[in-house]
Amino acid sequence: MRSIPVSGRSADDEVEVTSPLVSIRKLTLDATTARGTAHILRGIDLDIGKSRILGVVGESGSGKSSLAACLVRLLPANVASIGGEIVFDGVDLLALDERAMNAYRGTRIAMIFQDPMTALNPLFTVGTHLVDVLRRRHPGLPRDDAEQRAIAALGSVGIADAPLRLVSYPHQLSGGMRQRVMIAMALLVEPDLLLADEPTTALDATVEAQIVSLLEELRRSFSGSIVFISHHLGLVAQLCDDLCVMYGGTIVESGPVSEVLGAPRHPYTQALLACELDDEDAGGRLKSIPGEVPDPVDVRNACVFAPRCRYAKEVCLEGVPALREAGPGRRAACVRWEQIAFDVVEESA
Amino acid sequence: MSAAGVVKARGEALVEFTGVSVVFDGRVRALDDVTLAIGKGEIVGLVGESGSGKSTLCRVLVGLTPPSSGTVTVGNRPVREQLAQGALAFRRRAQLLLQDAVASLSPRMTIGRTLEEPIAIHALPRAEALARLSAILKRLGLSSDVLAKFPHQISGGQARRVGVARALLMRPEIIVADEPTAGLDVSVQGELLNLLLDLQREFGLTYLLVSHNLNVIRRVTGRTAVMYLGQIVEEAATRELFAAPAHPYSAALLSTNPAVDPRKRFERIVLQGEIPSAVNPPGGCRFHTRCPVAQERCTTDPPFLRPLEGDRSVRCHFPYSLDRRRH
């Protein structure tokens, strides 16, 4: 660990360049399917910075939800093997036994799921959900104290009449309210790492806007790191600090969100941005990426995007490209990104 | 109750809704005084949140849900009358593409059987219909091997194309597409939309396209109707609507779609609360309980859909009062 002085502050008041909260190295995940072994994650290297919001984007089957599942080690039954390491604050989570891992869940790592209806237990009231979470985090906390904190938490996520809502059951709440309850539960945990798997996808547009505003507000008071999984690039651009783009079980590009989206290095990120139809003045044909997503069972020793890449050359089929530096704080898994960046500038000139 | 001003479609209207309401169980007002014209060859978009009445409007158009009051005409003849005189002929005119393409295919039938079934139901000349089907499949880029497959053996994109093929086989005049890109990845949605646009030109089709994806609506449609709680609150040329929404709800809805490029992003307008129940909708303007710029009058006096300058109509006493700001 090293420290650098920051201008305008005294010498003792230095800001430390700290190690990341989570370091994922060579993470692999295989699952058994009827057709053979599916390689769901294929060697993920990723750091999650302290107090940063990391956006994870990718299409269905890219492995983004599986990555989150690995971080809490809540994996489906057909998982055949998991390899590599996930070092969380100095401890490799993959090396822990089930009991030791369980000590992290709902304490230092919390999760917000896509569908708040199935994530809340229909037999318990909102109050029971919140108090249970608190008592897990702070064993021995008196029930009255826990209830007071639960009421405060509901208020902080914008739920009016919090004392009344404490005795409501999940089915008595709207979708937006349920997601607010989920967020309140996650915040009561005060986790070091909060995983949010498409937390607004199931909500209507104006309710989604409310939840996004809430998350923006909360990030000022929340000191932990957030992994925000989404397929909505605009939302990620607005909410996140860092971005990681996944394709076919690999990370193809990572870096600060504005830089990755402002000048993508990997051809897949470029193609994905071109498919966003958000250009006000655009006309003509709509863009798409020809070809099909890679088959996780039939994995080749080549760039995973090469079959759909408009810039692919022979060299792209000679082994899996490493995720290598592509500017300050940026990495891309493309052997040709320098050349492609040059070609793109030439094309538009 | 009827609109003070009726917006006419450009050119000849193929579909006209006039003061259409749908009441379920005598109390759920799913559609309330809907007036909308769709011109021949137009692509009209329909946006709104769940419970706003989009799907009910679609079902009324294709004759699956009868209106409780008001009239719907397709080709200048009431749908009710056309259904009474020959339901099959009307159903061929107006085809519905369902939201869940895979679920709309019977899991127990091969794709081939599913596609051939309507030929028998509608008693089409078989040889001619089969020849047309194979031409359609070719046009949609579906190889003939899909015919032997079951729905679970094909991809989501292929299932969409099968749905489109089934609709085209009937030589429809209008296709109502309910969320045609829902569940599709962005990398393939453009391809499907291009296909729908090409078919529209080739076959002179008219589309009513429902989507919650505002980017899709902006790029594909010529006009857009915005719905809230069973009513159309604004209708305008798509380009003009996105450039300057007149209704406060339209302004808020459009602001929820952040662009990737921060220079093109508007400040998010966050509405309070959620869409109220259609069983007991608010009096006055239905949007007043959530409207950031509601005034006294809005709480008691229900606005009608009225024409504004340009080819636009709006159901608001104080249009353009909610400004969007660039970031």
Q: How far apart are CA A71 and CA A194, in angstroms?
A: 10
Query: Which range, of A5-9, A11-15, A118-122, B284-288, averages the lowest pLDDT?
Result: A5-9
Rounded Cα–Cα distance for residues B240 and B321 (Å) = 16
The residue-averaged pLDDT of A92-104 equals: 96
B257 contacts in chain A (CB < 8 Å): 205, 234, 278
Q: Give the pLDDT of residue A347.
A: 65
CA angle B208/B209/B212 to nearest 5° reads 145
Would you state the pLDDT for residue B212? 86
- Predicted local confidence at residue A344, as pLDDT: 67
**Is residue A2 over pLDDT 60?**
no
Structure tokens at A329: 């704080």
Query: What does the pLDDT read at residue A315?
Result: 95
- Substitution target in B211, B216, B242, B261 with the highest count of A β-carbons within 10 Å is B261
Residues contacting residue B185 through CB under 8 Å, at least 6 positions apart: A59, A60, A231, A293
Instruction: Give contacts of B255 with chain A, Cβ < 8 Å.
Output: 209
Q: What's the mean pLDDT in A18-46?
A: 94
Q: Tell me the count of A-B CB pairs closer than 8 A.
A: 108
In degrees and rounded to multiples of 5, residue B174 shows phi and psi of: -130, 140
What one-character-per-residue DSSP string does B198-236 give?
HHHHHHT-EEEEE-S-HHHHHHH-SEEEEEETTEEEEEE
Instruction: Quick: pLDDT tens for B54-82.
Output: 999 999 999 999 999 999 999 999 999 99
Both tokens of A290, joined, read 């020809």
Which residue from B115, B53, B55, B60 is spatially nearest to B83, judged by alpha carbons? B60
| Reported ipTM | 0.83
Give the model's pLDDT for residue A287: 87
Confirm or reject contact between A69 and chain B (CB < 8 A). Answer: no
Residue A89, burial from CB neighbour count under 10 angstroms (0-12, 13-18, 19+): middle
Between A253 and B2, residue with greater pLDDT: A253
Each of the 327 residues of chain B gets a pLDDT tens digit; together they read 333 334 455 568 999 999 999 999 888 899 999 999 999 999 999 999 888 999 999 999 999 999 999 999 999 999 999 999 989 999 999 999 988 888 899 999 999 999 999 999 999 999 999 999 999 999 888 888 999 999 999 988 889 999 999 999 999 999 999 988 887 888 888 888 999 999 999 999 999 999 988 989 999 999 999 999 999 999 999 999 999 999 999 999 999 888 888 888 888 899 988 888 888 899 999 999 999 999 999 999 999 999 998 889 999 999 999 877 765
* Rounded Cα gap, residues B95 and B104, in angstroms: 13
Beta carbons of B152 and B179 less than 8 angstroms apart: no
Chain B nearest-CA residue for A211: B270
DSSP letters for A142-208:
-HHHHHHHHHHHHHHTT-SSHHHHTT--GGGS-HHHHHHHHHHHHHHH--SEEEEESTTTTS-HHHH
- Sheet with A53-57: list strands edge to edge: A109-112, A193-197, A225-230, A53-57, A242-247, A250-256, A331-332, A324-325
Chain A residues closer than 8 Å to B289 by CB: none
* pLDDT value of residue A4: 39
pLDDT of residue A96 exceeding 50, the answer is yes
Per-residue pLDDT at A12 exceeds 70:
no
Q: How would you class A228 by CB atoms within 10 Å of its CB: exposed for 0-12, middle for 13-18, buried for 19 or more?
A: buried
**Residue A14: phi, psi to the nearest 5?**
-90, 150
Residue A176 confidence (pLDDT): 86
**Closest CA–CA distance from residue A177 to any residue of chain B (Å):** 9
pLDDT bin (cut points 50, 70, 90) of residue A17 is low
Residue with tokens 């994922």: A24
- Chain B, nearest residue to A60 by Cα: B185
Ranges of H-type helices in chain A: 64-72, 98-102, 116-119, 126-137, 143-156, 162-165, 175-189, 205-221, 233-239, 257-262, 267-275, 337-348
In angstroms, what separates the C-alpha of B284 from chain A's closest C-alpha? Answer: 21
Per the model's pLDDT, the better-predicted residue between B279 and A244 turns out to be A244
Report the alpha-carbon distance of residue A205 to residue B172 in Å, rounded: 32
- Give yes or no for A281 touching B (CB within 8 A): no
In the prediction, which pLDDT does A1 show?
36
Q: What is the percent of chain A where pLDDT is above 90?
A: 65
Q: What is the pLDDT of residue A16?
A: 47
Phi, psi values for residue A149, rounded to 5°: -70, -35
Q: Out of A206, A234, A287, name the one closest to residue B253 (CB).
A: A206
Confidence of residue A231 (pLDDT cuts 50, 70, 90): confident
Instruction: Name which residue leads in pLDDT, B184 or A301.
Output: A301
Q: Is the minimum CB–CB distance between B324 and chain A shorter than 8 Å?
A: no
Beta carbons of B253 and A258 less than 8 Å apart = no
> What does the pLDDT read at residue A279?
64
Q: What is the pLDDT of residue A76?
A: 86
Residues of A in contact with B217 (CB under 8 A): none
Widest Cα–Cα separation across chain A: 68
d(CA B53, CA B278): 10
The secondary structure element, H or E, covering residue B197 is helix B186-203
Q: pLDDT at residue A281 above 70?
A: no
Searching chain A, which residue's CA lies closest to the CA of residue B158? A292
Q: pTM for the full model?
A: 0.86
What local confidence, expressed as pLDDT, does residue A113 receive?
Answer: 87
pLDDT of amino acid B118: 94
CA–CA gap between residue A253 and residue A263 (Å, rounded): 11
Note whether A59 contacts B: Cβ–Cβ < 8 A: yes
Which residues of chain A neighbour B188 with C-beta distances below 8 Å? 288-289
CA-based nearest residue to B170, from B217, B216, B117, B214: B117
On the CB side of B326, how many CA atoms lie within 13 Å of its CA?
6
> Out of A273, A280, A288, whose CB is closest to B260?
A273
Give how far Cα B325 sits from Cα of A215, B245, B254, Å.
Answer: 21, 12, 12
| Cβ distance of B268 and A206 shorter than 8 Å | no
Token pair, residue A161, equals 């009449």
Return d(Cα B218, Cα B45) in angstroms, integer.
Answer: 9
Task: Measure the CA–CA gap between A127 and A149, rounded to whole angstroms.
Answer: 10
B232 with B303: CB under 8 angstroms?
no
CA-based nearest residue in chain A for residue B274: A207
Q: Which residues of A touch B215 (CB under 8 A)?
A: 276-278
Q: Is B239 on the interface with A (CB under 8 A)?
A: no
Look at residue A168 and tell me whether its pLDDT is greater than 90. Answer: yes
Question: Among A207, A280, A289, whose Cβ lies nearest the Cβ of B274?
Answer: A207
Give contacts of A211 with chain B, Cβ < 8 Å: none
What pLDDT does residue B110 have?
A: 96
* pLDDT value at A46 more than 70: yes
Six-digit token string for A113: 């799921």
What distance in Å separates the CA atoms of residue B179 and residue B211, rounded to the nearest whole number?
A: 5
**Nearest CA-CA distance, residue A103 and chain B, Å:** 36
What backbone phi and psi angles, to 5 degrees, belong to A165? Answer: -65, -25
Going by the DSSP 8-state scheme, the letter that residue A42 receives in this structure is: E
